[in-house]
């Protein structure tokens, strides 16, 4: 991808070029708000779909729904698209929308500081400084790999890498490999590694619930029909959307409703594993849905293979060439894959954002808990919009639906700002507090709180600042218009400070 030089000033600065940043750019352009710039630390669009190239990477939400509503794609190869298909879709969508001339790649945002007097964000990037009236972040809720804190791991002499930073230069054929973690990434990686390595050790701390994956390839006539009958694609999308939405009561209200899913998962274990002792060790001890429900037909058979060992004794340390478990057993390895997830409730980007009074977002969230208004705007941070902010995550449906809801809300907000010549918009503290009190009250009866598991959804106080505890259509309705009454507004010099001409000059 080519890179645009950094202008000194822009009206809307977008951070990140994944689904969120790209979708926002496309919608800003369509609304005539062309004075924007997207800064991306990677070399291409795609976000998580650019970064997660591990063997077996695929989306566990069907692509007909896990795609932009405004950019339907008749070319999906199968119902659950593999990562290369999704990455190609995002590249094609970006090219087709004609927005890439305002994307700056290989550029990291280092600091974003709100200048109260100038009513501007002053942003320092690895390619220079830039001023912006609005900052819109789409930097992803699962973008910063979290490495496990294990004694001696830094002394490991073999190859070691995180699932989201796969090292394709390492030839795994015939090697002794260990995978730490049994989450969504690991269960896709393990069956692929099992086919090529000499021996694989899978280190499980908590057994996940894994239901069968009903995947199928689209036939040629079906693809043809999808291409020529747009209504058919909308029908598929709608059917998947409403099917997924039926999971919500089980997650948020009556976990007992998930009994059929539990039965399916237990059946998946029986079908995939012959050894009764191994079956017992992979059977979870918490309610289904408490952690993300995983889907795979290949994971259990892979664990049951002769060249794979599931290790459930806790890891004590890593040495130069082995992992040692608490029972004293030392297992030699050549390659260590850490599939241990991401920073979620302690997002690194929060340390780089400074709002009113010189307080960083990390300081505000450390004191008050990670919270926002409608998952998008934050008191103390005027003209700052976060796509996939607090309490916007889903355990059951497409994040693209949430992203599009937020994009529409932000767009309405910045249009309000321009039309009414507001220099600054900031959600009122009381409104934000009320929004979050309601969310946390709803959280109390969800399976994520009551289901008896520890998960990356919960912070150290046991609060859930990650997930949305209602239906997604409620989220969309609540964000359907920018509710200016919930905001403190300021007039000032920035009201119509930049024009598209100024930026492209």
State the residues that interact with ligand NAP by CB under 6 A.
58-60, 142, 148, 150, 163, 180-186, 203, 205-206, 292, 315, 339-342, 456
Q: How far is the CB of 286 from ligand NAP (least distance, A)?
A: 10
Neighbours of 462 (CB within 10 A): 9
Q: How far is the CB of 419 from ligand NAP (least distance, A)?
A: 38
Closer CB to ligand NAP, 27 or 237, in the complex: 237
Closer CB to ligand NAP, 315 or 443, in the complex: 315
Neighbour-count burial for 178-216, b at 16+ CB within 10 Å, e otherwise: bbbbbbbbbbbbbbbbbeebebbbbbbeebbbbbebebe
Closer CB to ligand NAP, 146 or 227, in the complex: 146
Closer CB to ligand NAP, 120 or 269, in the complex: 269
Q: How far is the CB of 184 from ligand NAP (least distance, A)?
A: 4
CA 423-428-431 angle, 5° bins: 145
Closer CB to ligand NAP, 379 or 396, in the complex: 396
Structure tokens at 430: 């009381």
Question: What radius of gyration do the chain's Cα atoms show?
Answer: 23
Closest alpha carbon to 401 in 170, 48, 61: 61
Structure tokens at 240: 């998947």
| DSSP states along 171-215 | --TT-EEEEE--SHHHHHHHHHHHHH-SEEEEE-SSPPPEE----
Q: Is 131 helix (H, G, I), strand (E, B) or coil?
A: strand
Q: How far is the CB of 394 from ligand NAP (least distance, A)?
A: 9
Closer CB to ligand NAP, 285 or 501, in the complex: 285
Closer CB to ligand NAP, 6 or 316, in the complex: 316
Q: How far is the CB of 3 from ligand NAP (least distance, A)?
A: 28
Answer whether 108's CB lies under 8 Å from 78's CB.
Answer: no
Report the C-alpha gap between 482 and 84 in whole angstroms.
36
Tell me the sheet residues that pair with 176: 199
The residue with its CB nearest to ligand NAP is: 183
Neighbour-count burial for 392-425, b at 16+ CB within 10 Å, e otherwise: bbbbbbbbbbbbbbbbbbbbbbbebbbeeebbbb
**Packing angle between helix 19-30 and helix 399-419, nearest 10 degrees?**
40
Closer CB to ligand NAP, 91 or 186, in the complex: 186
Q: How far is the CB of 441 from ligand NAP (least distance, A)?
A: 24
| Burial class of 285 by CB neighbour count within 10 A (0 to 12, 13 to 18, 19+) | exposed
Closer CB to ligand NAP, 208 or 255, in the complex: 208
Backbone angles phi, psi at 224, to 5 degrees: -60, -45
Closest alpha carbon to 160 in 299, 322, 41: 322
Closer CB to ligand NAP, 316 or 495, in the complex: 316
Q: How far is the CB of 181 from ligand NAP (least distance, A)?
A: 3
Q: How far is the CB of 123 from ligand NAP (least distance, A)?
A: 28
Report the C-alpha gap between 119 and 436 in whole angstroms.
27
Closer CB to ligand NAP, 456 or 468, in the complex: 456
Closer CB to ligand NAP, 73 or 340, in the complex: 340
Q: How far is the CB of 315 from ligand NAP (least distance, A)?
A: 6
Backbone angles phi, psi at 384, to 5 degrees: -115, 125
Q: How far is the CB of 417 from ligand NAP (least distance, A)?
A: 33
Q: How far is the CB of 436 from ligand NAP (least distance, A)?
A: 22
Q: How far is the CB of 62 from ligand NAP (least distance, A)?
A: 11
- DSSP E strands, 4-105: 9-15, 36-39, 103-104
Closest alpha carbon to 193 in 85, 309, 330: 309
């Amino acid at each position: 991808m080519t890179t645009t030089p950094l202008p000194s000033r822009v009206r809307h600065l977008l951070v990140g070029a994944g689904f969120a940043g790209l979708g926002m750019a496309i919608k800003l352009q369509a609304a005539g708000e062309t004075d924007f710039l997207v800064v991306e630390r990677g070399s291409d669009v795609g976000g998580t779909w650019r970064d997660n190239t591990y063997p077996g990477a695929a989306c566990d939400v069907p692509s007909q729904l896990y795609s932009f509503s405004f950019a339907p794609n008749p070319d999906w190869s199968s119902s659950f698209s593999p990562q290369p298909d999704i990455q190609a879709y995002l590249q094609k969508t970006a090219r087709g929308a004609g927005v890439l001339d305002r994307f700056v790649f290989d550029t990291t945002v280092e600091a974003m500081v709100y200048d109260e007097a100038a009513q501007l964000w002053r942003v320092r990037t690895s390619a220079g400084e830039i001023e912006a009236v609005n900052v819109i972040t789409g930097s992803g809720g699962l973008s910063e790999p979290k490495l496990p804190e294990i004694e001696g791991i830094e002394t490991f002499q073999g190859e070691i890498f995180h699932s989201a930073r796969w090292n394709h230069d390492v030839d795994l054929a015939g090697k002794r490999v260990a995978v730490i973690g049994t989450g969504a990434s690991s269960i896709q990686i393990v069956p692929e590694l099992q086919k090529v390595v000499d021996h694989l050790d899978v280190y499980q701390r908590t057994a996940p619930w894994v239901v069968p994956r009903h995947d199928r390839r689209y036939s040629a006539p079906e693809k043809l029909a999808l291409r020529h009958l747009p209504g058919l694609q909308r029908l598929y999308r709608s059917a998947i959307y409403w099917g997924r939405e039926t999971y919500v009561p089980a997650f948020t209200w009556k976990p007992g409703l998930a009994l059929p899913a539990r039965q399916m998962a237990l059946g998946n274990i029986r079908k995939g594993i012959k050894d009764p002792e191994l079956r017992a060790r992979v059977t979870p001890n918490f309610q289904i849905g408490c952690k993300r429900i995983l889907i795979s037909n290949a994971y259990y058979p892979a664990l049951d293979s002769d060249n794979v060992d599931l290790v459930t004794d806790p890891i004590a340390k890593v040495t130069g060439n082995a992992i040692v478990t608490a029972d004293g057993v030392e297992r030699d390895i050549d390659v260590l894959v850490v599939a241990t997830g991401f920073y979620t409730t302690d997002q690194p980007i929060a340390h780089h954002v400074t709002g009113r009074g010189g307080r960083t977002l990390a300081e505000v969230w450390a004191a008050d808990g990670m919270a926002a208004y409608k998952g998008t705007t934050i008191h103390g941070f005027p003209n700052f919009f976060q796509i996939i902010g607090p309490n916007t995550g889903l355990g059951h449906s497409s994040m693209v639906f949430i992203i599009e809801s937020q994009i529409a809300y932000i767009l309405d907000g910045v249009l309000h700002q321009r039309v009414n010549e507001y220099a600054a918009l900031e959600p009122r503290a009381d409104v934000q507090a009320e929004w979050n009190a309601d969310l946390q009250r709803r959280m109390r009866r969800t399976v994520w709180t009551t289901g008896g598991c520890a998960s990356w959804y919960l912070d150290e106080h046991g609060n859930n600042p990650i997930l949305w505890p209602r239906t997604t259509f409620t989220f969309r309705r609540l964000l359907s218009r920018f509710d200016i009454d919930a905001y403190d507004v300021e007039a000032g010099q920035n009201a119509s400070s930049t024009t598209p001409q100024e930026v492209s000059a």
